[in-house]
Structure 1
């Protein structure tokens, strides 16, 4: 049996009584089309079950209706949630998502940016391994497609940024610990090569200073976004002669390692040490006791970033801008009063 021919843009134009250019403007939502004419075209599209071929139209304009999304680690729950939300929004806007994962490899990161541009994506949304690198800034500014950075900000260049405002959540976290009587507070903070590490370090230090506190160097450790570094850093703090009564862990992956160290060494939270983490994950939500966290809305963060990127695609000369999303403390069960902790 001969396969039925799929309807074309010419068929839609004929059914609606308009030219193919008018149909194209309706499909791509570009240029002026009168209300009644637009309705006729949309009715024709629906009645014919016409499916626009965005790939073909993109090839003719040398740009696909697609967006590149670059993240460092797809196994990180935060990045997985961001990719899932971005794909949902892009599909609603008739864009496809091309995913690149750097695995914290700076050379692969550069390769992914260049490959996505050469493949003809309309724009790129990315987190960076190191937003303090001059080479990374120069590479991004040289690209011929719009870029929006998510929770990253170029130290040596300009880019449109959507990021979390860290000051409020960090201040609330330190205030909560101090209210519960904690003065010896350990910090497991990510390094200064990305915006969250710089902002969290600054915000926590400022919040401690408001209470006339400053952690000694031995109570501060740098962690990566992985389990092993969290384990090692917590081991360093908890084997000190004067170990902290509370620890703030600035990475959701490092938090898993920190909690694993406590478990393996028969230490309990919050009885032996109070814990505050960052970002909602299954671990923070489902563990008992539940983990107190500095939280943010991944969905709102991603929605804003994708919307800005689509705006920049339609208006390439739009100035770069920075949009900050809020953070807040969610008090749960992992912080206790000093009088309730073992040995106090």
Structure 2
């Protein structure tokens, strides 16, 4: 006696698996459309992508990534190289990138350089030996010869985060640091500050150069004389922020407003201000770049230059998938926003 076939999503027997064809039927699309969505093909509409991923979730479909990687000749692994994984900016970025990469079958291999360009170079060579399918990188510097040589020898697609290295073929996702810092200077000048400092990372990094450019432009626009002693560049860590803030505030003519170019620099600056027994913002107004986790714990609230770390991570992942699929490279600049304290 004939029996009805088992319903979609409930395969017969404990070992039976849902197939890609069943996903296509559930989503109401063709088999090729499912394949393109799961492979991360860029020529897929968001509505189609959501339709397929919903069917995948409903059926608890698990793609055979081993078979897919053998067909493609790939490892289905991408690398993410960051300067400081302890920085919440980077952890948010990596998490967001993984949310894009994981549903289409890619695992993320994460390594941290701790701001050491030699470790950048060593990690890039390691990624090449592991034959990863692509690399997202926030380099410690743009001018380290060994790192650049490793990138030139790297055969897979590369996305640089907030870095500009013209001699390397790569996609780039960056933030509009220039506009954000210029707005911060305008804010401080509007509150009566005439001695405004900027503490930020090394000049060999795009973000620092653009913050410096925005800082100088903001001073010119406000009619404030540029004092080279109030511009401190060199590193992105908290200790650097503490040291440079202390030095600035112990001069005979200290700044009354400080822009901290980087999340960890901002932590360090605040630590120095408090250690000197000064109040924020009454005696020193601090404007950090990047929004701090749990800002409600800081009193009083601080104005800050915001960039969306999650959007940067998602964009970096999308650019990498595009490059993996068709070899194209693009540059995307994301906006920053100056947020005034309540």
Q: TM-score, normalised by structure 1?
A: 0.81
Shift of 1:285: 4.8
Consecutive unaligned residues of structure 2, counting only runs of 5 or more, are: 1-12, 25-29, 42-51
Rounded to whole Å, the distance in 1 between the matches of 2:58 and 2:162 is: 44
Shift of 1:222: 2.3
**Which of 82, 89, 92 is equivalent to 1:71?**
82
Once the two structures are superposed, the pairs formed by residues 322-337 of structure 1 within 5 Å of their partners are: 322-332=331-341
**Which of 125, 133, 142 is equivalent to 1:122?**
133
CA displacement 1:114-140 (0-9 Å, x = unmatched): 222322322111110111334433432
Rounded to whole Å, the distance in 1 between the matches of 2:168 and 2:59 is: 49
Does residue 164 (structure 1) correspond to residue 166 (structure 2)? The answer is no
- Structure 2 SS opposite 1:208: helix
Consecutive unaligned residues of structure 1, counting only runs of 5 or more, are: 17-21, 32-40, 334-344
Kept in 1: contact 2:200–2:208 (CA 8 A): yes
**Which of 163, 167, 174 is equivalent to 1:152?**
163
Does residue 97 (structure 1) correspond to residue 108 (structure 2)? The answer is yes
Q: TM-score, normalised by structure 2?
A: 0.81
- Structure 2 partner of 1:37: none
Kept in 2: contact 1:57–1:64 (CA 8 A): no
- Structure 1 SS opposite 2:305: strand
Shift of 1:272: 0.9
- Structure 2 SS opposite 1:68: strand
Rounded to whole Å, the distance in 1 between the matches of 2:116 and 2:71 is: 34
CA displacement 1:250-305 (0-9 Å, x = unmatched): 12111111111122221101111111110011265530111211111112222111
Kept in 1: contact 2:121–2:146 (CA 8 A): no
Pair 1:55–1:99, CA change in 2 (3 A): farther
Rounded to whole Å, the distance in 2 between the matches of 1:71 and 1:185 is: 30
CA RMSD of aligned residues (A): 3.1
- Structure 2 SS opposite 1:153: coil
Rounded to whole Å, the distance in 2 between the matches of 1:159 and 1:151 is: 12
Kept in 1: contact 2:117–2:144 (CA 8 A): no
Rounded to whole Å, the distance in 1 between the matches of 2:314 and 2:135 is: 14
Kept in 2: contact 1:185–1:215 (CA 8 A): no
- Structure 2 SS opposite 1:271: coil
**Which of 301, 304, 322 is equivalent to 1:311?**
322
- Structure 2 SS opposite 1:206: helix
Kept in 1: contact 2:80–2:137 (CA 8 A): yes
- Structure 1 SS opposite 2:245: helix
Rounded to whole Å, the distance in 1 between the matches of 2:334 and 2:318 is: 14
Rounded to whole Å, the distance in 1 between the matches of 2:58 and 2:299 is: 55
- Structure 2 SS opposite 1:282: coil
Shift of 1:73: 0.9
- Structure 2 partner of 1:247: 258
Rounded to whole Å, the distance in 1 between the matches of 2:118 and 2:16 is: 44
**Which of 73, 77, 85 is equivalent to 1:62?**
73
Pair 1:209–1:135, CA change in 2 (3 A): farther
Q: How many residue pairs get matched?
A: 314
**Which of 64, 83, 108 is equivalent to 2:94?**
83
- Structure 1 SS opposite 2:281: coil
